[in-house]
């Protein structure tokens, strides 16, 4: 039996980073539905993120997306976050929303556009210097739609060159986190389609370049926990972008489509020591709440991460190891399933009470009146979002 107190001790140190964009309006390519009370600027986004931390106690940072979260003075934004009890986290670059990037950003055949994209990435490093962020997370929409459209190998060369230039620009405590995605928006080739491509580029770059596993960025049926185990063994898992998917990059709430998969991923993290207090893994959410209210959507997501983590930590590793060594297939599998089938909600409720939090974060937020307040206060102005 795994000791519940030991599980709680680890859960107390767990940190989940929230995406600023989850608080803005979002939608599909067909329609963005506006919700009342949605933030109109980065300050209101961090205020909403602080609510999630207030009721969960494990979400003390928020990732920014530049230029969506562009402000005149990032020190002022960082100070505002601090006043709210949170901090600014990962900086996400955006080289996918400009007409110039139609044929790619740092892999574009046109050197002028490559240099424009690179300058944006440098700008993001400058922002990191002001916010004190450790990580620069890069996701490229670059790729091609048609066979023969561009030279696949030349695009890899340009990618390597661009990444190298940004990597050299980073300070010694800063990291480059390279995300991959199999398709969309490009439909024939993506320049960073899979973990292997990201891994190979990160290896070439050096120690401070790591892979980001976005759980929605794989082909259906991909064994994501295998990828996680492999990257952890190689010391190259830098971050998670958590979300759920049924079909493509659905960006639904983590743990909603396949909680068992999330458990299996967390189990690999646990066995590799990835929940240590000084973990190198950034546990982030990358989600959109198109039809559900955003702040409770984030609270629910953080709770789902906690539940999967608690179950993973409940796996009795000694008994599992003995069963594995004995070749006891069913016994070993039963150890995992016992942990997965444990209802960890009472344990998490206890933990929250011990931490001075409400045992039911969803109910506590609903009762707080915050949702009604932002609807009343946030009138006029332009709501945050990226439009359809």
Q: Which residues bind ligand RM4 (CB under 6 A)?
A: 21, 65, 92, 139, 179, 214, 241, 249, 286
Which of the residues 232 through 251 are near Mn ion (CB under 5 A)? 241
Shortest CB 242 distance to Mn ion, Å: 9
- The entry of Mn ion, ligand RM4, none near residue 92 (CB within 5 to 8 angstroms by kind) is ligand RM4
Q: Write the secondary structure of the chain as one string of H (helix), E (strand) and C (coil).
A: CCCHHHHHHHHHHCCCEEEHHHHCECECCCCECCCCCCCCCHHHHHHHHHHHHHHHCCCCEEEEEECCCCCCCHHHHHHHHHHCCCEEEEEEECCCCCHHHHHCCCCCCCHHHHHHHHHHHHHHHHHHHHHCCCEEEECCCCEECCCCCCCHHHHHHHHHHHHHHHHHHCCCCCEEEEECCCCCCCCCEECCCCHHHHHHHHHHHCCCEEEEEECCCCCCCCCHHHHHHHHHHCCCEEEEEECECCCCCCCECCCCCCHHHHHHHHHHHHHCCCCCCCCCCEEEECCCCCCCCHHHHHHHHHHHHHHHHHHHHCCCHHHHHHHHHCCCHHHHHHHHHHHHCCCCHHHHHHHHHHCCCCCCHHHHHHHHCHHHHHHHHCCCCCCCECCC
Q: Closest CB to ligand RM4 among 65 and 158?
A: 65
Q: Closest CB to Mn ion among 22 and 344?
A: 22
Q: Closest CB to Mn ion among 286 and 358?
A: 286
Shortest CB 27 distance to ligand RM4, Å: 13
Shortest CB 89 distance to ligand RM4, Å: 13
Q: Closest CB to ligand RM4 among 180 and 267?
A: 180
Shortest CB 214 distance to Mn ion, Å: 4
- The entry of ligand RM4, Mn ion, none near residue 289 (CB within 5 to 8 angstroms by kind) is none
Shortest CB 124 distance to ligand RM4, Å: 12
Which of the residues 252 through 291 are near Mn ion (CB under 5 A)? 286
Strands 135-138 and 61-66: unpaired
Tokens of 250: 């659905």
Query: Cα–Cα distance between 258 and 245 in angstroms, integer?
Result: 8
Q: Closest CB to ligand RM4 among 268 and 286?
A: 286
Which residue sits closest to ligand RM4, CB atoms considered?
A: 139
- The entry of ligand RM4, Mn ion, none near residue 245 (CB within 5 to 8 angstroms by kind) is none
Q: Closest CB to ligand RM4 among 21 and 199?
A: 21
Q: Closest CB to Mn ion among 213 and 332?
A: 213
- Please name every residue paired with 241 in a beta bridge, in sequence order, or none if there are none: 214, 284
Residues 157-196: x where in contact with Mn ion by CB under 5 A, - otherwise, as a string: ----------------------------------------
Q: Closest CB to Mn ion among 97 and 324?
A: 97
- Contact status: 214 vs Mn ion (CB under 5 A): yes
- The entry of ligand RM4, Mn ion, none near residue 167 (CB within 5 to 8 angstroms by kind) is none
Shortest CB 179 distance to Mn ion, Å: 5
- The entry of ligand RM4, Mn ion, none near residue 105 (CB within 5 to 8 angstroms by kind) is none
Q: Give the binding site for Mn ion (CB under 5 A).
A: 214, 241, 286
């Amino acid at each position: 039996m795994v000791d519940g107190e030991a599980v709680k001790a680890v859960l107390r140190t767990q940190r989940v980073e929230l995406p600023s964009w989850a608080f803005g309006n979002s939608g599909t390519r067909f329609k963005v539905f506006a919700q009342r009370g949605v933030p109109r600027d980065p300050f209101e986004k961090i205020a909403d993120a602080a609510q999630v931390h207030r009721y969960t106690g494990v979400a003390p940072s928020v990732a920014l997306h530049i230029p969506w979260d562009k402000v005149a003075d990032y020190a002022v934004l960082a100070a505002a976050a601090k006043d709210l009890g949170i901090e600014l986290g990962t900086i996400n670059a955006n080289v996918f929303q400009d007409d110039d990037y139609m044929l790619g950003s740092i892999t574009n055949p046109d050197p002028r556009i490559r240099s424009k994209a690179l300058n944006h990435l440098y700008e993001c490093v400058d922002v990191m210097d002001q916010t004190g962020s450790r990580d620069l997370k890069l996701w490229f929409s670059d790729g091609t739609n048609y066979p023969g459209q561009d030279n696949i190998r030349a695009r890899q060369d340009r990618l390597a060159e661009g990444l190298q230039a940004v990597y050299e620009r980073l300070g010694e405590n800063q990291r480059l986190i390279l995300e991959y995605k199999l398709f969309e928006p490009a439909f024939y080739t993506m320049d960073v389609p899979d973990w292997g491509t990201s891994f190979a580029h990160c290896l070439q770059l050096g120690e401070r370049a790591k892979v980001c596993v976005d759980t929605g960025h794989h082909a259906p049926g991909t064994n994501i926990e295998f990828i996680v185990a492999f990257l952890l063994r190689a010391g190259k898992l830098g971050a998670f972008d958590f979300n759920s998917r049924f079909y493509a990059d659905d960006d639904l709430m983590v743990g909603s489509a396949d909680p068992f998969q999330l458990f299996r991923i967390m189990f690999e993290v646990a066995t590799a020591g990835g929940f240590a207090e000084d973990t190198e893994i950034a546990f982030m959410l990358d989600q959109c709440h198109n039809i559900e209210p955003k702040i409770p959507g984030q609270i629910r997501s953080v709770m789902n991460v906690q539940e999967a983590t608690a179950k993973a930590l409940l796996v009795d590793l000694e008994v599992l190891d003995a069963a594995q060594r004995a070749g006891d297939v069913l016994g070993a599998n039963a150890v995992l399933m016992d942990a997965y089938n444990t209802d960890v909600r009472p344990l998490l409720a206890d933990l929250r009470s011990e931490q001075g939090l409400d045992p039911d974060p969803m109910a506590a937020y609903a009762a707080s009146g915050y949702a009604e307040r932002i609807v009343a206060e946030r009138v006029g102005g332009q709501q945050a979002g990226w439009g359809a």
